[in-house]
Amino acid sequence: MNIHQKYLLRCIELAKKGLGSTAPNPMVGCVIVHNGKIISEGFTSPYGGPHAEVNAINAVKNKEVLAECSLYVTLEPCSHYGKTPPCADLIAKYKFKEVFIGLQDPHDKVAGQGIVKLVEAGCKVNVGILEEECREHHKRFLTFQEQQRPYIILKWGETQDGFLAPDDSVREADPQPYWITNRYSKQLVHQWRSEEQSILAGTQTVLKDNPKLNVRNWSGKNPIRVVLDRTLKIDNAFQVLDRSVKTIVLTEESNASKHVDGIDYAVVDFEEPLAKQICDVLFQHNITSVIIEGGAQTLQTFIYENLWDEARIFQGQVRFESGIPAPKIKGTLTHTESILTDSLSIYRND
């Protein structure tokens, strides 16, 4: 690994500090190097705030030294006005001698234009430093830009004998929640929720479990809640409609109000493949990632349409003997770990 790759690796480490707060903007990392030493670092502020390059440049007190510096950044500096001015203009203003970029930004308002601005300003620009690692880091943003859909994470817990939940007859006799995983696994799930922009659950999951779908066991931002409710069976007594968090309800009821007291309604056709329609709605809402925590039918919808990027599967120690079978997927196993008595396996869709 050469020195430029090491600096980009540091940019990736910094960028991760923005996980869960920058979306729908990408979480970018930036370092400024002078005479072989890092003199400033920055990462993207929460959405609406300064970008990584701005934070790194602003942290340098003596701006005159910047013309002698190299700037490293995980993603091409933006070239357009959004919530903030273009980062490429700021870098050009201070005439950095060299800029090292992890990968080009596919956003249609950037797409190489930031690089052009820097070159025209006299900066020597190098693109493709640790590109594979930067693509992995920016997977949410890139999926949204290149495939016009959110990055999709399937999540479920299953028993030792492969069930998601006991039979309905068992639940009717004893309606209390049936926990499969331990409290440390539950806390990890809440951490994951804080890292993603939205979370989705199906009608039956809401009706049976009355989930909050928030991050009460972790410190972080609650995800946008997305709920499938074909015939609007879920009423205001359920926690997902408590209006504490932005909520999107997907229904077939065309007369549902588009927006009522903080709840957005979107009409989809439940007789047609549903996962693609859900992705289209989330794309329209500028949502770059979603965790699917629905029941077996909801999970299977995404698996059947092959619309998923990761599957995070817990296996607990309990056994149900019978019940609702857990989904089956085909993918590449990328990670395994033990969480006390539970096991976690993470798969990637190839």
Note whether 313 and 158 are within 8 A (CB): yes
User: Does 213 carry a binding-site annotation?
Assistant: yes
Residues in the chain: 350
Instruction: Measure the CA–CA gap between 228 and 250, rounded to whole angstroms.
Output: 5
Write out the E strands in 183-222.
198-201
Indicate the SS3 state at residue 155.
Answer: strand
220, 20 contact by CB (below 8 A): yes
Q: Do the annotations mark residue 112 as ligand-binding?
A: no
The reply to whether 157 sits in an annotated binding site is: yes
- Is 202 labelled as part of a ligand binding site? no
Told to judge if 53 belongs to the known catalytic residues of this protein, a careful annotator would answer yes
CA–CA dist 252, 254 (Å, integer):
6
Q: Rounded to an integer, what is the distance from CA 160 to the centroid of its chain?
A: 29
Exposed / middle / buried, residue 106 (Cβ in 10 Å: 0-12, 13-18, 19+): middle
51 among the known binding-site residues? yes
Catalytic choice (53, 158, 195, 310)? 53
Is 216 annotated in a binding site? The answer is yes
Q: Are 11 and 102 in contact (CB under 8 A)?
A: yes
Question: Does residue 198 contact residue 225 with C-beta atoms inside 8 Å?
Answer: yes
193 has binding-site annotation: yes
Is 209 annotated among the ligand-binding residues?
A: yes
Distance of CA 35 to the CA centre of its chain: 36
Helix (H, G, I), strand (E, B) or coil at 51: coil
Q: What are phi and psi of 74, to 5 degrees?
A: -70, -25
69 is in an annotated binding site: no
Strands lying side by side in the sheet with 259-260: 259-260, 263-267, 247-251, 224-228, 198-201, 289-292, 151-158, 310-315, 342-348, 332-339
The 10 Å CB-count burial string (b at 16+, else e) for 322-346 is ebbebbebebeeeeeeebeebbbeb
**Distance, first Cα to last Cα, the chain:** 27
Asked if residue 75 lies in contact with residue 134, where contact means CB atoms within 8 angstroms, the answer is yes
Question: Which residue ranges make up the annotated binding site?
Answer: 51, 78, 87, 157, 179, 193, 205, 209, 213, 216, 293
Question: Which residue ranges make up the annotated binding site for Zn(2+)?
Answer: 51, 78, 87
User: What amino acid positions are annotated as catalytic residues?
Assistant: 53
